[in-house]
Structure 1
Amino acid sequence: MRVKRLRIENFRGIRNLDLSFGDSGIVVFVGGNGAGRTTVLVAMQYLFSWYVARLKSPNGKGVQLDECDITNGQPYCFIEIEAEEHDKTVRWSLFKKRASYRKPVDRLARRAELNRFVDSKMEVFADGKEHNLPLVNFYSVNRGVDAVPLQVRQKFQHGPLDAFDCNLNNSVNFHSFFQWFREREDMENELYRELGEMFIGELQLVTVRSAIRNLLPGYDKLRVKRDPLSFVVVRNGKTINFSRLPDCKKAYIALVGDIARRIAMANPQSAYPLEMPAIVIIDEIELHLLPKWQVGLVERLKETFPQVQFFLTTQSKHIVTSLKKSKGDTLVALDREVEG
């Protein structure tokens, strides 16, 4: 699935914005403070919350627009997205009008196409087997690794639908990633004991480790050490305690690992999950990263996740100057003129 177009009218600080993305694999939004970078991503988050909700339940509800989302001085707000998969287009929208505004508005909340699209995706699950689903996930600026849990306090589900998370509270808690990793590695160890040298690794964990290795040169083999109990990672050939890494590196490893594990979970029928399509939305991609880590980041994202469509915001010149239009990168410059 690919996002082809996004329309925003009177949503928070954005008066009118109509964007076409073509075949862009990387879309980066830039602009000064208050220009609407995060607002664009939140509009996408709201719209995709309905996709996720309907996947999980035929009557599921995503985020409803509220009057506080309407631009000051305007009577309504409207957001619409158009996506494409296998030459099939699906379009849906959200709409909210002020209760005090009595005049008719030529805008509606439409989700019929979305419902049909999701129904077609879920019909194949009637055979009782797991099937691939196009992943969508959102990462806000409220992300970080404040602690690394080592005890598995819940049993995790690992199916395609479990890969989806609306993140409606706008914060990202990587605790679930580390707990998932610990549980999954326990399963991997059991399989290794049963199969011996024939066992080449649990696919979802192999996917996560591969993504970390590709995106963070010099870092490899994230695993759980049993005595003493701790998460460790190999850095330039030396095993070190994960908790002793700088916050910027911990957050980056967790972000990359979380994207990879969700793609792997959403695509159980793929032997190469990192090559599967997805939509990943990240606010302030350079968050926590030192400038030297920002250099080449976009290229490494594309190499590691070649079929993922990324929507990013940034204020980093290193990110902006690395974009290449000839390779399908798109830069969207927002300014205060879009504000109400």
Structure 2
Amino acid sequence: MKINRIILENFKCFENEEFELSAPYTLIIGANGKGKTAILDAIAVGISALLSEVSEPDSLRSLKDRDVRLKLYKKGRNIDIQPQYPASVSCEGIFAEQEINWTQSLADTGNKPRTDKTIKTLSQNLNKMISNGQNSLLPLIVYYGTDRLWIPNQNQTKENQDENNSVKESRTKGYENCFRPGSNITWLTDWLRKEEKEALESGKRSDALEVVTSAVAKCMEDEDWQTITYDLNKSEVLAEAKDGRLLPLGVLSDGVRNMLAMVADMAYRAAMLNPHLGKDAAKETPGIVLIDEIDLHLHPSWQRGVVEALHRTFPNIQFIATTHSPFIIQSLRLGDLINLDNEKNLQYYNRSIEDIVALIMGIDVPHKGQRFLRMEADAEKYSQLIEEAKNAKTFDPEKLRKIEDQLNELEAQLKMRYSDDAAYHAFLRMNRRAALSAQEVAK
């Protein structure tokens, strides 16, 4: 499954726009407020229609009144804000090796969204195959927003964990909360605990557990972290480092914890959706994964490799993500870039970070820090006053006194502004004395 094109009408900040989407990666960049997240939201609305007959309604993301573009009209001193209907999200893509296109639309305030019969029929057929126990290939569909903190529930006790030991095993479990997966950490923890307990009792790990731990190991093979496990004695998820250290997931940095948990969540869902694929579920499962700010909390060294790492772990997934990171743009050789700030098709793979920031992202890149540039500008202003003082000393003593007052005032300001740099102040005073005393000698 993949989406090739999405067409938006009156969706959030977009009046009429269409975007081409590539596989395996499409990266969306642009200034805040340009619509990066809005595109992901629109894709979520589109692909949610495929799950309408498969997943619980609470897990779906339909087109709502709050998604409709607002237009402002000035009425004297007042502003009249009006939603612009109709609003729609149209998709073109491939499902089960067939080209399909469908639309979800909203005609007016308070109306229910309408979805094309084409996608409804596909969803009904999918549900029928699941109900009949067929080994149909279900696509992984999940949307990771910027609120994905993945904080384990510290209040969960052994007693209520044991009460929750019965975890629903339907294949459609893989779609639960798929458009707000940050809440999944509790039942992902429950599942890991159950699997580790059964593995201990039977002496054999299940294929699903192997899928999750292997996926984490594969994605993290270039980093310090190896995989995750559940400690039955401590009743918590642990992250295993390559040097053998075991640390609770909750004490790790946000970047490490989010990446470990996100990969584990994807692998878990793939294993739930396609149990017939066994240990190859992560490798063979197709689908679409949306990630808002893929660089969230990641160190720059990790940002360089996150695109490749996710692709090698889930090679049949179409990833569509947003970012502000030039390091991720630089590493993107597998897909395409949607630049909401710049319509020009500029090469970005393997360009220097400076070129990407300046040419692709449209940001001026000084080669010196802002503080250093301010110090240079202040020193230049100080030097200009010295030159004026030199000239005034010969021709206009009254002006000289005023300029020296300005120099004294500027020196006092600079001492407060750059109080930690004694050498800077000494250099300025030395230049002042040298310039004015040299003029005295010349006389």
SS of match in other structure, 2:302: helix
> Quick check: 1:53–1:60 contact (8 Å CA) kept in 2?
no
Residues 163-174 of structure 1 correspond to what in structure 2 (within 5 A)? Answer: 163-167=174-178, 172-174=183-185
The answer to whether the Cα contact below 8 Å between 2:295 and 2:325 also exists between their aligned partners in 1 is yes
Unaligned runs of 5+ in 1: 101-107, 193-198
Quote how far apart the aligned CAs of 1:126 are. 4.7
User: Where does residue 70 of structure 2 map in the other structure?
Assistant: 72
1:208 aligned residue: 212
Q: Cα distance, 1:314 vs. partner?
A: 0.6
The residue identity in structure 2 corresponding to 1:9 is: E
8 Å CA contact 2:44, 2:143 repeated in 1: yes
Give, in whole Å, the separation in 2 of the partners of 1:261 and 1:250: 16
- One-letter amino acid of the counterpart of residue 77, structure 1: A
* Pairs aligned (count): 318
Equivalence map 1:118-137=2 (5 Å): 118-128=123-133, 131-137=136-142
SS for the counterpart of 2:192 is: helix
| Residue 310 (1) aligns with residue 342 (2) | no
The alignment yields a C-alpha RMSD, in angstroms, of: 2.6
How many Å apart are 1:96 and its aligned residue? 1.9
Q: State the AA in 2 paired with 1:119.
A: Q
Q: Is the 8 A contact 2:40 2:290 kept in 1?
A: yes
Compare 176-185 and 256-265 and name the one that shifted more: 176-185
Report if aligned partners of 1:208, 1:261 keep a CA contact under 8 Å in 2: yes
Which residue does 1:53 correspond to in 2?
52
Distance 2:64 2:287 in 1: 28
Residue 167 of structure 1 deviates from its aligned partner by: 4.7
What amino acid maps onto 1:191 in structure 2?
S
Query: 2:274 pairs with 267, 270, 274, which one?
Result: 267
Q: Which residue of 1 aligns with 2:29?
A: 30
Q: What TM-score, normalized to structure 1?
A: 0.84
Task: Report the TM-score when normalising by structure 2.
Answer: 0.66
- Fraction of identical pairs, as percent: 24
Q: Which has the higher helix share?
A: 2
Secondary structure, aligned partner of 1:15: strand
Per-residue Cα deviation, 1:197-232 (whole angstroms, up to 9, x for no partner): xx4x21111111111111113322422223344332
Structure with greater contact order relative to length (CA < 8 Å, sep ≥ 6): 1
Q: Which residue of 2 aligns with 1:145?
A: 150
The answer to whether the Cα contact below 8 Å between 1:182 and 1:224 also exists between their aligned partners in 2 is yes
Whole-angstrom CA distance in 1 between matches of 2:177 and 2:32: 25
Distance 1:228 1:309 in 2: 37
Q: Deviation per CA, 1:49-107, whole angstroms, max 9, x where unpaired?
A: 332231137x999544333322123332111112212431232222123459xxxxxxx
CA contact (8 A) 1:295 1:322 kept: yes
Alignment partner, residue 320 of structure 1:
329
- Provide closer, same or farther for how the CA distance between residues 45 and 165 of structure 1 changes in structure 2, counting only shifts above 3 A: farther
Matches within 5 A, 1:190-339: 190-192=201-203, 199=204, 201-217=205-221, 218-242=224-248, 243-271=250-278, 272-275=280-283, 276-324=285-333, 327=334, 329-335=335-341
Q: For residues 249-305 of structure 1, give each alpha carbon's deviation from its aligned partner in whole angstroms, at most 9, with x where no partner exists.
A: 112111111011101111111031122212111111111211111111111111111
In structure 2, stretches of 5+ residues that fail to align are 72-83, 344-443
Q: Which stretch has the larger CA shift, 248-257 or 179-188?
A: 179-188
Distance verdict in 2 for CA 1:266–1:173, change over 3 Å: closer
Q: Return the letter of the residue paired with 1:157.
A: K
The answer for the alignment partner of 2:18 in structure 1 is 18
CA distance 1:232–1:125, shift in 2 (3 Å)? closer
SS in 2 for 1:174: helix
The structure that has the greater radius of gyration is 2
Distance 1:62 1:306, change over 3 A: closer
- Specify the code of the residue in structure 1 equivalent to 2:68: I
